[in-house]
Structure 1
Amino acid sequence: MSLAQEMAALWGEYLDNREVGPDDDFFALGGNSLIGIKIIERVAQEYGAELSVRDFYLAQTPARVAALVERGRSGT
């Protein structure tokens, strides 16, 4: 499973266990600030990547968040 797919599955857990694809938009799926913060905290715990709320919201899709996580892991 790719990191984008892992992120999509993680989002699905917080979005009423719905199917989420790597290119699905967080806000179109019903995401809100509380859910976003929970996902950001979980990503920090499980993947060791610190995401800002702003970066998370601008990314909007699991695939783009996965790219941010990869960058965070590599320290760039």
Structure 2
Amino acid sequence: MAMEQQAAPSSAPVALVQETAALWSQCLGVEVKAEDDFFALGGNSLTGIKIIERIFEDHGVQLSVRDFYLAGTPARIAGLIEQGRAGT
């Protein structure tokens, strides 16, 4: 029996993960869950930049393109946003 993955890393509130997934849904035009992979959903560099810009506008956190692509899921991106807010 497979264990269910946590919806969010411990550093990211579930609401932030859900907000991040909703942003991805809006930009990608598909339903997005916390652990969905950006590229598997059809994400590309232009969409990635658009999401990064919206994260900066909405949260004041500047993610690098590299960090965004390496994180790759709304849950991990939410964790990066939370870290950025904390200044770590």
Normalising by structure 2, we get a TM-score of 0.83
Unaligned runs of 5+ in 2: 1-13
Bigger fraction of residues in helix:
1
SS in 1 for 2:56: helix
CA distance in 1 between counterparts of 2:27 and 2:21 reads: 10
* Aligned pairs (5 A) from 1:1-76: 2-16=15-29, 18-76=30-88
CA distance in 1 between counterparts of 2:27 and 2:64 reads: 18
> % of aligned pairs identical?
65
Unaligned runs of 5+ in 1: none
Give me the CA root mean square deviation. 0.8
Q: Number of aligned pairs?
A: 75
Residues 12-64 of structure 1 deviation map (CA, whole Å, 9 limit, x = unaligned): 00112x21001000000000000000000000000111100000000000000
Give the structure with higher Rg (CA).
2
SS in 2 for 1:2: helix
